[in-house]
Amino acid sequence: MPRETATPRPPAPGRAFLAALLLAALSACAQPFEVPPPREARRAVPPGPALPGPLGPFDYDPRPRAIALCYGSLVNDPGEVMQKAQELCPNDGRIERVAEDVFWNTCALLQPVRVSFVCIPGPPEPSEYQ
pTM above 0.85, yes or no: no
What digits encode the pLDDT tens for the residues 2-23? Answer: 666 767 666 666 777 676 666 6
Give, in order, the Cα–Cα distances in Å from 12 to each of 17, 18, 26, 62, 125.
9, 10, 22, 59, 59
d(CA 121, CA 58): 15
Q: How many angstroms separate the CA atoms of 47 and 67, rounded?
A: 15
Angstrom distance (rounded) from CA 123 to CA 127: 12
d(CA 97, CA 26): 27
List pLDDT tens digits, range 60-92: 788 899 999 999 988 899 999 999 999 999 888
